[in-house]
Amino acid sequence: MRRAICCGLALALLTGCAKTGSVRPEALTPEDEVSVGYGTQPKSLTTVAVSSVVPTDADARVPRIEDLLQARVPGLEVRRGSGGLYTLQIRGGHGLRGNVLDDEPLLVIDDIPVAAGSLGATLAGLAPRDVARIDVLKDAAASAIYGSRGGNGVIIITTKRAN
């Protein structure tokens, strides 16, 4: 008798606590996700200062990625340097020595960090039509993920081939 009551109670609890109907999670669009660190997460769950740029067909005609980022990412300063290369700074200068290369953000293309000091040359060799998404991490959470190289911010570029 005791076993029947326990089994009946367990069955009642299981059927009473079960969900009614099926709830489907909504599929995330590229505009609802951001790249943070070594993966993506929904924009609503992020607590970092991040700006995302998803190029459109009209943006494919832009000659350089720097032109694509200019005036679209708050806090990102695009400066033309010597030799036609550009330098990028997030939230102004930070280096103690005053060297422009010390203030460059970390560039990550398809989860591969680019060597320090080669940001301008790497961006010059990348065509805007090949870019699927650009995420710019602008706060201290970037250094928590990428270490000291992320202290000046991180620019994460995902190409169309990586999707």
Count structural domains, the chain.
1
The CATH number of the domain holding residue 122 is 2.170.130.10
Q: How many residues are there in the chain?
A: 163
Q: Going residue by residue through the chain, which has 163 residues, state the pLDDT in tens, using 9 for 90 and above.
A: 455 444 444 444 445 444 444 444 445 455 677 766 656 777 676 666 778 888 888 887 888 888 888 888 888 888 887 777 888 888 776 655 556 667 888 999 998 999 888 888 899 899 888 999 998 988 877 777 888 888 888 999 999 886 6
In a domain, 15, yes or no: no
In a domain, 102, yes or no: yes
In a domain, 14, yes or no: no
**pTM score over 0.75:** no
In a domain, 8, yes or no: no
State the residue range of the domain holding 132.
Answer: 28-159
In a domain, 17, yes or no: no
